[in-house]
Amino acid sequence: NLLQRHGSELDPHKLEVLLALADNNSDGKICYQDFVNLMSNKRSNSFRQAILQGNRRLCSKALLEESGLSLSQRLIRHVAYETLPREIDRKWYYDSYTCCPPPWFMIAITIVEVAFFLYNGVVLDRFVLQVTHPLYLKNSLVYHPQLRAQAWRYLTYIFMHAGIEHLGLNVALQLLVGVPLEMVHGAARIGFVYIAGVIAGSLAVSVADMTAPVVGSSGGVYALISAHLANIVMNWSGMKCQFKLLRMALALICMSFEFGRAVWLRFHPSAYPPCPHPSFVAHLGGVLVGITLGVVILRNYEQRLQDQSLWWIFIFIYVVFVLFAIFWNVFAYNLLDLKLPPPP
């Protein structure tokens, strides 16, 4: 009623933004919580500027109906429909994205992972199942239970992969999923999910699979993919990406294949007993980060995370887990009198 009464005093673009933001679930009605959210201005600065300055150029038709787009515009539109469930967010992203900065985080970390793999392949003269080489675990980047006091290993293990079959699938998944997510949500948010998954993965191994080393970026990759898939399921009706059911099934098959390979390798007789092959538990740590912290980030495009109660709940849980794992690594290994494999 307020918008109808005073709509003539507003710029048409402002009016359309206000209506779209207020009707949060696109049902043609404004519920009380939608009204409170709009009046309390929970959106970030970009949305405030759009409302205050009227520089938002929303068109009445959907993005998919627009024609005459260039290749780069079609790519941006494709990314918007791949990652965002609301048309208002898709239009805002399409109009405001400038590719500055580009999705540098996922590209940079992929290049570094490939470079380390090629270097190790040349040094070890092996590219398939590098992990079976007797000198593989001597690398200072691999997490090894005997060297768990070297804190950098909880992160740097992502630059070491079991073989080209391990690296190839991880690189493909993190580029196909991670780059579009970074284009939409930015390097800071996606990098946080990725690194949180990596650290949670190595700490989960140190707690649940205490005698095994860890290699590969699967913790970070699984965090991103799990968050993306969970976001699609939770916003199924709003996600307009093509063949979403088929593509979800394909992603789950790829994840299951990679996880099955990791489980098989873990229990396969080691080439250098008594040290076992790398653990698969890091995958599970990444999944847990993805369906908690990752989902909160992906569901709150252009909104301040500090305003979301779930964000603080999951941050608290994550910090408690990290502290528990640190104390576990300091005290539990000695209290349990665990027989660890010899240092490499």
Confirm if 103 and 183 have CB atoms less than 8 A apart.
yes
Which run of H or of E encompasses 150? none
N- to C-terminal Cα separation, the chain: 73
- Which amino acid is present at 284? L
- Contacts (Cβ under 8 Å, ≥6 apart) of 245: none
Confirm if 184 and 303 have CB atoms less than 8 A apart.
no
Task: Give yes or no: 78 in active site.
Answer: no
Q: State the catalytic residue, choosing from 217, 218, 226, 279.
A: 218
Which whole-number Å values give the CA distances from 281 to 40, 63, 90, in the listed order?
A: 43, 42, 36
Length reported for the chain: 344
Confirm if 229 and 248 have CB atoms less than 8 A apart.
yes
Q: Secondary structure of the chain: what % helix, strand, coil (to 5)? A: 65, 0, 30
Vertex 122: Cα angle to 119 and 126 (nearest 5): 115
Which whole-number Å values give the CA distances from 196 to 2, 41, 100, 122, 156, in the listed order?
A: 45, 30, 25, 31, 13
Q: State the catalytic residue, choosing from 161, 185, 228, 283.
A: 283
Please give the full DSSP string across 294-320, using - where no structure is assigned: IHHHHT-TTB-GGG-HHHHHHHHHHHH
C-alpha span between 107 and 254 (Å, rounded):
21
Task: Give yes or no: 277 in active site.
Answer: no
- As given in the structure block, the two tokens for residue 167 are 């690296």
- As given in the structure block, the two tokens for residue 265 are 């390798």
The total of other beta-carbon atoms located within 10 Å of residue 109's CB is 21
- As given in the structure block, the two tokens for residue 338 are 């665990």
Q: What is the largest CA-CA distance in the chain?
A: 79
Active-site residue set: 218, 283
